[in-house]
Amino acid sequence: MTNIALVDDHLLFRKGLATIINSFSDYQIIIEASSGKEFTTLISPSNMPAIVILDVTMPDMNGYETANWIHHQYPEIKILALSMLDDEKAIIKMLKNGAKGYILKDSDPRDLKEALDQLMQKGVYLNELMCTHLIDNINNHLHEDAQGFYRKKITLNDREIDFLQRACSDMSYKQIADDMYLSPRTIDGYRDALFQKLRVSSRIGLVLYAIKNDIAQI
């Protein structure tokens, strides 16, 4: 049985989701919390979940802050971000803070079950939402080994790596240009070249590639 923690500030939603998860034969809720702050008081070595389902928008430690805390205090825990936000910046920020998947609150229960299964089996959950935003065809460029980790198949030069690392920050493309002492047009060229080289269609695609290949510093 896989233990799950559910952190969401909406009581009725949280209770309904807990009922759904407890109906799955191989998963059970052991912690419910209404905020990240409350979650930090409930978790302990004797009450340790394998997965934390974490609402992005909460009072008293939001999802970003809580994910970062979990990532540093309990790095073995897998974080599944939960949100109403179909938003590129929110996805990037949650990935940067340690989330291994992102799912919308109006998803079908079957999608939630798939997310939990993929997190346990592969360590990461890539759903249609993330792939639509992130990657046109991730399997053309990344492959899994037996442990479910992704390895590099593409070689990047130093300037591409410098740009990619900055793209994983909150900096705008203009700020990246200033930071690299380059023109915005040159930075646009780096971006478009990497889109083509990595076959991604958005900045989130660049971020995911960087995270999977240990280019981004989390």
Q: What is the pLDDT of residues 28-63, one digit of tens each?
A: 999 999 999 999 999 999 999 999 999 999 988 999
Domain check: are 95 and 27 in the same one? yes
Predicted confidence at residue 12, as pLDDT, reads 94
Structural domain tally of the chain?
2
Predicted confidence at residue 217, as pLDDT, reads 57
pLDDT in tens, 70-125: 999 999 999 999 988 777 778 878 888 889 888 988 889 999 999 999 999 988 88
Q: What is the mean pLDDT of residues 161-187?
A: 90
**Token pair 């179909």 in the structure block, residue:** 86
Domain check: are 31 and 117 in the same one? yes
**Helix or strand run (H / E) with residue 5:** strand 2-7
Share of the chain above pLDDT 70, in %: 86
Instruction: CATH number of the domain at 77, please.
Output: 3.40.50.2300
**Token pair 């109006």 in the structure block, residue:** 106
Domain check: are 12 and 113 in the same one? yes
Domain check: are 129 and 156 in the same one? no
- 194 occurs within a structural domain: yes
pLDDT bucket at 64, cuts 50 / 70 / 90: very high
Predicted confidence at residue 91, as pLDDT, reads 82
Please say whether the beta carbons of 190 and 200 come within 8 A.
no
Which of 108, 134, 160 is where one domain is finished?
134
- How many Å separate Cα 216 from the centre of its chain? 13
Please say whether the beta carbons of 78 and 100 come within 8 A.
yes
Domain check: are 22 and 81 in the same one? yes
Domain check: are 102 and 190 in the same one? no
Domain check: are 157 and 50 in the same one? no
Q: What is the DSSP string of 180-199?
A: TT--HHHHHHHHHHHHHHHT
Structural domain of 176? 150-212
Domain check: are 90 and 186 in the same one? no
- 73 occurs within a structural domain: yes
Predicted confidence at residue 148, as pLDDT, reads 44
Closest CA to 78 of 60, 99, 108, 93: 99
Domain check: are 166 and 205 in the same one? yes
Supply the mean pLDDT for the chain: 84
Mark out the alpha helices in the chain (DSSP H runs).
Answer: 11-23, 36-42, 63-73, 88-96, 109-122, 128-134, 158-167, 173-179, 184-198, 203-212
Structure tokens at 201: 């269609």
